[in-house]
Amino acid sequence: MIDYQKIIDGIHVTCSQASERGKVAAYIPELAKVDAQKFGIFLVDHNKKGYSSGDWSERFSIQSISKVLSLTKAINIIGPAIWERINVEPSGDPFNHLSLLEAENGIPRNPLINPGAIVVADILVTHLKNPKEDFLAFVRELVDDQSIDFDKSVAQSEKTTGYRNYATANLLKSYGNLENDVETVLDFYFHQCSIAMNCEQLTQAFYIFMNRGKCQRDNTFLTLTQVKRINALMLTCGFYDEAGEFAFEVGLPGKSGVGGGITALLPNQFCVATWSPGLNKKGNSKLGMEALERLTTEAEQSIF
């Protein structure tokens, strides 16, 4: 039996003493207010037993981690037709870069970089009756927690400074890969990114990717094939131009967000979430990456 609690406690001790913590995202002004000293970790194993340390119960902005959940909802609704509008190749580029989008005629490289996630948002705006409310209801159902909500001040803050996302949505529109108007799609996208969750709630939301498509209450959300595809995308694209590094150091499918969260999973074994707001140069949580490297090394578990 692997003693996850011992490993996690050790990681927490080291991470709380770290002097190099990276930089809190400041391009969304509201995120810059978050205390860089925070560190939390929560792991749930396949028997639904939880292990935790640090600030795991504090909610933070999940940001790009939400892209995996919006992708899941879009796949639920339109199935493989989604791949007519978005590719499935790693980009090797930062999350908000535009050059590939222009070079590839408005087809985003994958759904986990901003251009791809904005197309996914467009699909949900088209197909959901009340897009924001219905998506939030889906996330609440996944986690089985009605208290999960948007952080409206974060969404508003991003709306006032989201120049690159406006540029991206306009470029998509010019290529005919956005059905709805730019304002409506970005309003949805900024809200999905603003959802606040803690580390435990994130592991509950991502439990389906660890547990063959079923949530903790055993309800089925995805087929095995869909789980395989989404996990493959997390592994190859979940950390943008640091996806190779994450696979190399950690060896798990996962997703990061500029709020400092990371969620990762080992199929059929465990799902884990970390939170440390300081980011490295590629926009991924610095201590979160280090914590997960240590977890898979000490537990001697990874997909490889």
**Would residue 27 show up in a list of annotated catalytic residues for this protein?**
no
Identified binder of ligand GLN from the candidate list 40, 111, 283, 288, rule CB under 6 A: 283
**C-alpha separations of 166 from 42, 195, 287 in Å:** 35, 20, 30
**Would residue 44 show up in a list of annotated catalytic residues for this protein?**
no
Q: Which is nearer to ligand GLN, 12 or 255 (CB)?
A: 255
DSSP single-letter state for residue 260? S
Query: Is residue 285 involved in binding ligand GLN (CB under 6 A)?
Result: no
**3-class SS string, 205-256:** HCHHHHCCCECCCCCECCCHHHHHHHHHHHHHHCCHHHHHHHHHHCCCCEEE
φ/ψ of 202, rounded to 5, equals: -65, -40
Query: By the 8 A CB rule, do 70 and 87 touch?
Result: no
**C-alpha separations of 50 from 4, 269, 291 in Å:** 9, 12, 17
For residue 48, count other CB atoms closer than 10 A to its CB: 11
Q: Which is nearer to ligand GLN, 12 or 191 (CB)?
A: 191
**Closest residue to ligand GLN in the complex (CB):** 64
Shortest gap between Cβ of 292 and ligand GLN (angstroms)? 17
- From the list 119, 258, 285, 302, the catalytic residue is 258
153-192 as b/e, with b when 16 or more CB fall inside 10 Å?
ebbebbbeebeebeebbebbbeeebbebebeebbbbbbbb
| Beta carbons within 8 Å of 177's beta carbon, 6+ residues apart | 85, 106, 107, 108, 119, 122
Shortest gap between Cβ of 258 and ligand GLN (angstroms)? 4
**Would residue 258 show up in a list of annotated catalytic residues for this protein?**
yes
For ligand GLN, the binding residues in 58-97 under the rule CB under 6 A are: 63-64, 95-96
Calpha distance 101→155 (Å, rounded)? 24
Shortest gap between Cβ of 28 and ligand GLN (angstroms)? 7
- From the list 61, 189, 255, 286, the catalytic residue is 189
For ligand GLN, the binding residues in 91-150 under the rule CB under 6 A are: 95-96, 114
Identified binder of ligand GLN from the candidate list 165, 204, 226, 236, rule CB under 6 A: 165
Residue count at the site for ligand GLN (CB under 6 A)? 11
**Would residue 189 show up in a list of annotated catalytic residues for this protein?**
yes
Q: Which is nearer to ligand GLN, 111 or 257 (CB)?
A: 257
Shortest gap between Cβ of 114 and ligand GLN (angstroms)? 5
Q: Which is nearer to ligand GLN, 53 or 198 (CB)?
A: 198
Shortest gap between Cβ of 193 and ligand GLN (angstroms)? 4
Q: Which is nearer to ligand GLN, 94 or 267 (CB)?
A: 94
DSSP per residue over 62-115, as a string?
-GGGHHHHHHHHHHHHHGGGGGGTS--S---S-TT--HHHHHTTT--S-TTSHH
| Backbone CA torsion sign across 115, 119, 121, 125 | positive
For ligand GLN, the binding residues in 235-274 under the rule CB under 6 A are: 257-258
Shortest gap between Cβ of 141 and ligand GLN (angstroms)? 23
Q: Which is nearer to ligand GLN, 56 or 95 (CB)?
A: 95
Binding site for ligand GLN (CB under 6 A): 63-64, 95-96, 114, 158, 165, 193, 257-258, 283
Active-site residue list: 64, 67, 189, 240, 258
